Structure 1
């Protein structure tokens, strides 16, 4: 079988969002599954709206997601000469012709057709004028006037368009720039694209592109038109549904593999399996398994998937992804990698995002703990002070193991007539400043003997200062 080549052709007129990222993912997975090639190109012929900042943003988002490309990025703006060569060939072969109809006249004709209940299309005024190139003249392809345009969609089966519904559309504008329909076909031909996986909003573009393939005598690629991603309410996905650009998800503390897992499951599945590593997705992905019903974006489900991968990821992987968040507030060089990895282990089951994890790790990285006022008032009391003094003394020799610590604190509570909860909360406040935290024994073990004793002594000083 010939090598499978897919492509992702974003337009740099905005940032990469969920829908585009899913299209890129499906193309990437299909290529990787078949040991084929994945091509990246930027369709940047819209000079007014295309911006360099969006190019940078799209490339960064794809790299962060791990969607590496084998060829490219190609830029359509650098290929104008190539499009003109193919356009000239079609003109010379009599398969395209120049049109001198002014824009205003075309608009007026379109308006009248709509008023008469007709589908607006070019009336072939210039088809047989035998015009050559000239100022203000656009190049139109000669579309078939009868019959049907048929293609086999990999998801939807046979799709048929009556030929008379497609007019002699423009392939080269009067300023010499190619139209989308023409440029995309020339790109796919010259880049050897074998499979085009794209949103079903492109189905209506396919007959025009097939006409160009036919005119050039080239076998078209296989097409698969995937359903769009909708918002939770079934309408077009937008920011009001909580959908952000891919890099905004990165900044919000999502893991790239979690986002990949979630995007893959938007309309695709493999049995009842919910969570996939990237390697599993490559192994099991088949475009024919994509559901024809539109997928709905569920922000709560995305959070749940992210929480799953945070909980089940290697701590070193989490540390690398956490560093940008932790480095905003702390100099990490002062902490050993082992210390940071142990700290991560205590919080990874509690957070849904890396932002939450970074906040939970706060007390591990600060010099002086800031107490929650209500918690300190309730638990750091003069009555508990003798117990804390005893803990400071005993911790100098106590083995910092969970079972040893648990037995010690139970005996301590019985000896001093306190509830275990009250002692634990007082020490929790002393060590973290918070009333809610990871397990107390875990915290003591990670902070270590010296830092734990130091913080409890600071809490004793706080009690003394606030008891008068």
Structure 2
């Protein structure tokens, strides 16, 4: 969709602070952010916190932390709906005065009873308009000591139709919509009303959100029309499904963005992966956020649900780990390694170890674990030592240890020394490399033994080979 050229592009991300930043919400935020960046527009962060029972300061902070970690910086906000109550009351009073809203004194029990009667007769349950003012209609007597709700006077006829930038033309008849409660008995406004007023006041031009909001859209359009407000373009993105083809579930899937921080993923990998869940730019799989903002439009949003693939995410994260600055990665893994007992004194510089180890790890957690071999004392299994450190190889190990005292300490010279030792004792590489690995690291799986020896340094190598020298 081509944006309205009469106004700058303004998008928004409007989460409800009832838990954490969900990966689906993060994808919505990413799409909205990238679209605003593409057109040099404004990205607004709005916290929809009118659900007083579920909204918490901790949940608000979790959203802000998630957005900050991902680098999805807002241009305006965060705006909090609970701080806009005076504005909502002003609009409600205007609507009551203009007759586009009215007081309803039906009790919750009366509303439920009317819905039960409708269900019993095969009708769609809806408010029956008892308190809706109409020309020539006599309203019931106002009950004593009962505070009313405020309902929106929804059009009775016609239809609501919009060209959804993802799903195409959507049309819903007004008779499918009843008179929505827009303010509770205590005066607190409800979700759809607040969203409509906020989008109006904040001059939002494009609303990109999950398709669980499709049913809210005709209600919000009707409210905006009643207010004489301009309408934004709407785009409803399909849900993200889990590996089982079902909606992502906290019981089965990691659905909080911050879970991925804890699991050792880089924010640029999460963004790159989420971008490809429902949007594409040709066959491009790996791209920066600068590239995405340059390419991003709404024409290439998919109308089909995307399936979350942990293996694909791990592959993308591996790419970004390999490309990341080694000092940055060292800062990310150091705390975990310290927790695991890493001894950094008289050990190789961590960024140098990271450079060697990162090629074979998919997460920073794996990187921290793999790097530990340089920062703990070797403790090889006795059976492995008996298997690999045999009488046949001891002379070669002693020769190698002796040569380590004088060899120039770089990988090329160490490699040449290894080859010379192998040739002199008629051994194959594994026959010498495996016992060296056990003596130096306590394990059989390491990167190139020459690279490992180089990083440990002469003093550590001589000390750990002293038992065979």
Question: If the length of structure 2 is used for normalisation, what is the TM-score?
Answer: 0.92
| Paired residues for 1:7-406 under 5 Å | 7-128=12-133, 129=139, 135-329=146-340, 334=345, 339-366=349-376, 368-406=377-415
Please give the per-residue CA displacement for 1:416-466, whole angstroms capped at 9, x wherever unaligned.
Answer: 233321111111112211100111111122222222222222x539xxxxx
1:325, distance to aligned residue in structure 2 (A):
2.6
TM-aligned CA distance change 1:331 to 1:190, over 3 Å: farther
Q: Look up the SS of the partner of 2:369 in the other structure.
A: helix
| Larger deviation, residues 416-425 vs 375-384 | 375-384
Please give the per-residue CA displacement for 1:51-94, whole angstroms capped at 9, x wherever unaligned.
Answer: 22211211111111111111222221222222111111100111
1:369, distance to aligned residue in structure 2 (A):
2.1
RMSD: 2.1
Asked if the contact 1:13–1:51 (Cα under 8 Å) also holds between the matched residues in 2, the reply is yes
TM-aligned CA distance change 1:117 to 1:132, over 3 Å: closer
1:333, distance to aligned residue in structure 2 (A):
7.4
1:230, distance to aligned residue in structure 2 (A):
0.9
Asked if the contact 1:266–1:295 (Cα under 8 Å) also holds between the matched residues in 2, the reply is yes
Asked if the contact 2:403–2:417 (Cα under 8 Å) also holds between the matched residues in 1, the reply is no
Whole-angstrom CA distance in 2 between matches of 1:244 and 1:204: 24
Whole-angstrom CA distance in 2 between matches of 1:460 and 1:244: 52
| Larger deviation, residues 217-226 vs 413-422 | 413-422
Whole-angstrom CA distance in 1 between matches of 2:142 and 2:410: 88
Whole-angstrom CA distance in 1 between matches of 2:77 and 2:247: 31
Q: Look up the SS of the partner of 1:45 in the other structure.
A: coil
The structure with more helix, counted as a fraction of residues: 1
Q: Look up the SS of the partner of 2:349 in the other structure.
A: helix
Aligned to 1:465: none
How many residue pairs align between the two structures?
458
Whole-angstrom CA distance in 2 between matches of 1:130 and 1:89: 24
Asked if the contact 2:344–2:375 (Cα under 8 Å) also holds between the matched residues in 1, the reply is no
Structure 1's unaligned 5+ residue stretches are 462-468
Q: Look up the SS of the partner of 2:77 in the other structure.
A: strand
For the pair 1:413 / 2:427, whether they are aligned, the reply is no
Aligned to 1:466: none
Asked if the contact 1:372–1:435 (Cα under 8 Å) also holds between the matched residues in 2, the reply is no
Asked if the contact 2:105–2:142 (Cα under 8 Å) also holds between the matched residues in 1, the reply is no
Whole-angstrom CA distance in 1 between matches of 2:141 and 2:278: 49
Question: If the length of structure 1 is used for normalisation, what is the TM-score?
Answer: 0.93
Structure 2's unaligned 5+ residue stretches are 134-138
Whole-angstrom CA distance in 2 between matches of 1:110 and 1:237: 32
1:312, distance to aligned residue in structure 2 (A):
2.5
